[in-house]
Structure 1
Amino acid sequence: MNNTPSHQSSMNPKPLISLLVFLGIVAAVHLFYEGLIRPYAEAAIIAYGSGATSNIWVIFKDFEQQASVSIGIFCAFLIIYKYQRIVFQEEPLFTMDYLAAYDKNEALNVEQALNELENSAYSQNSSMSTWIDCLRRYKNTRNVQHASAAITDSVETLAAQLESGNSMIRYFIWAIPSIGFIGTVRGIGSALAKAEEAVAGDISGMVDKLGVAFNSTLVSLIISIILMYLLHVLNNRQDEMVINTQKNCEKHLLTQLHK
C-alpha cells in the first residue's frame, strides 16, 4: 500500500491555498476589467459604433469572457504548480540511489534499509515510497518476484493518483467552453429582443448583442485550446515521472535484493 497522502501524490496544492488563489485571481481579474477593459471597450463603441466589434477590448468586455479568463488563469496556476512540483521536487530523486551507502557486494540488510527509508525526510516522495513498498513486500515474503510486483503495483497506484489529481483541471477545461456557449445563448436572446429596433433601422443594439454571442464563444475556445496544450505537457511529464520511478527502483533496489 502506498502511504503517500493523496495531495502529495496528485501534486495538487492544499485546498485552502487553492481557494485563496482562486479568490485572488477572481478579484484581480475583476479589477482589471473594471479599471481597464470595460472603459476602453466603451470608448471604442462610442468612437466606432458597430464597427468596434473587432476591437480587442470589445471582444473581451462581457461577463462570460471575464469568467472564462478567471477560471483559465486559475487552471493555468494548477498546471504550473503541478509541473514545477515534478521538475523541482520529484525529478531530482528519479535517479537517486537511496541505498548508495550500502555495500553492493553484500546482501542487503532489509530491516535496516527499510527503517532508514521510512524515517527519511523524503519518505512521502513518490520515488522513495515505491522503494519502501518494495522493501516491505520483500521483508514479508523474501521473494524478489513479489517485490518486483510491489513496484508495479506502486507505480500503477501513483499513475492513477496523478490522473485523478488532474480531474479538476479537466473539469475547468470543459467548463470554459460551456461558459462561452452560455454567453452565445444570452447574446442571441438579447439580439432577438432588439429585432424591432433593427427593423426600424437602428442595428447597433442587435450588433452589440450578437457580438456578445460570438465573442464569448471565441474567447472561451481560445482559452480552452491553450489549457489543453498545457495539460498535454503536464501529462507527458507525469508519465515520464512514473516510468522513471519504476526504472530507478528496478535498477538500484531489485539488483541489490538479488544478492
Structure 2
Amino acid sequence: MTKREYAFLNAGFLPEDSITMLELHELGPIRARVAPLHDAESGFLPTLMDMTILQLQASKSVDQSMTLLTNALSLMGDRVELRYQMLRYMAWLIPTIGFLGTVIGLSLALHLIDPKNMDLGRVVGGLSVSFYTTLIALLASALLAFAQHSVQEQEELALNAAGQYCLANLINRVYIDQEKPGGAT
C-alpha cells in the first residue's frame, strides 16, 4: 500500500519549483486529474488534494482550506490507527494464550506427581511443554508486534508526506485575488 502512496507523491500533480503560484481557475483540472485516484482505503495524496482544492474553490479561503487539510490529516491518521487494532489485539492475545497453556501444562504436570510412584521424567516433560508454550507465544507476539509497527510506521510516514506535499505545493502556492467587486481593493 505504501508503494502506491509514494508513487502518488512522485506523480508531479502540483508544481514543485520555488516560484510557481497557482490561481483558483487552475485548480479545476488538477482536481479532475486526482479525484478518480483515491478510494476509501488508499490514496492519501489524491484525497487530500481533492478535498483541499474543493474547499479552496468553494470558500476562496486559504485559512479554511488549511483547517480542512489539518482536520483531514487527523481523521486519516485515526483511520490508519484503527486499521491496526486487530493486529494489536492479536499481539496481546497470543502471549495470553501461551500463558494459559503454561498454566494448564503446570496443572497437568502436577497431576502426574504420584508420591508412591515418582516418575520425574514425565513430570519434567510436562513442565517443559508448558514453558515452551509461553516461549513460543512470546516470540510470535514479538514478531507480530514488530511487523505491525513497521508497516504502520510506513503508512503514517506516507500520510505525513502527503500532508507536507499539499501544504508546500498547494496551500502555500495558491494565489487568491482579494480584489473587491467594482475594482476597489
TM-score by length of 2: 0.81
Q: How many residues align?
A: 168
Percent of pairs identical after alignment? 20
Residue 76 of structure 2 is matched in structure 1 by 158
**1:98 aligns to 2:13 (yes or no):** yes
**Distance change in 2, residues 1:105/1:244 (3 Å):** closer
What letter corresponds to residue 162 of structure 1 in structure 2? V
Match of residue 67, structure 2, among 131, 134, 149 = 149
Structure 1 gaps, min length 5: 1-84
Name the SS of the counterpart of 2:12 in structure 1. Answer: coil
- Displacement after TM superposition at 1:127 (Å): 0.9
Residue 183 of structure 2 is matched in structure 1 by none
RMSD: 1.9
- Displacement after TM superposition at 1:192 (Å): 1.3
Name the SS of the counterpart of 1:195 in structure 2. Answer: coil
Q: For each residue in 1:22-62, what CA deviation from the matched residue of structure 2 results, as whole angstroms up to 9, or x when unmatched?
A: xxxxxxxxxxxxxxxxxxxxxxxxxxxxxxxxxxxxxxxxx
Distance 2:166 2:157 in 1: 14
Give the ranges of 4+ consecutive aligned residues of structure 1 lying more than 3 Å apart after TM superposition: 110-113
Contact 1:180 1:216 in 2 (8 A): yes
- Displacement after TM superposition at 1:95 (Å): 4.3
- Give the helix-richer structure, 1 or 2: 1
Residue 123 of structure 1 is matched in structure 2 by 38
**Distance change in 2, residues 1:177/1:237 (3 Å):** same
Q: For each residue in 1:95-133, what CA deviation from the matched residue of structure 2 results, as whole angstroms up to 9, or x when unmatched?
A: 443145xxx456242344333332x3x233111100011
**1:171 aligns to 2:171 (yes or no):** no
Contact 1:117 1:128 in 2 (8 A): yes
What letter corresponds to residue 160 of structure 1 in structure 2? D
**1:246 aligns to 2:166 (yes or no):** no
Q: Decide which structure has the larger Cα Rg and report it.
A: 2
What letter corresponds to residue 100 of structure 2 in structure 1? I
Structure 2 gaps, min length 5: 177-185
- Displacement after TM superposition at 1:182 (Å): 1.4
What letter corresponds to residue 184 of structure 1 in structure 2? T
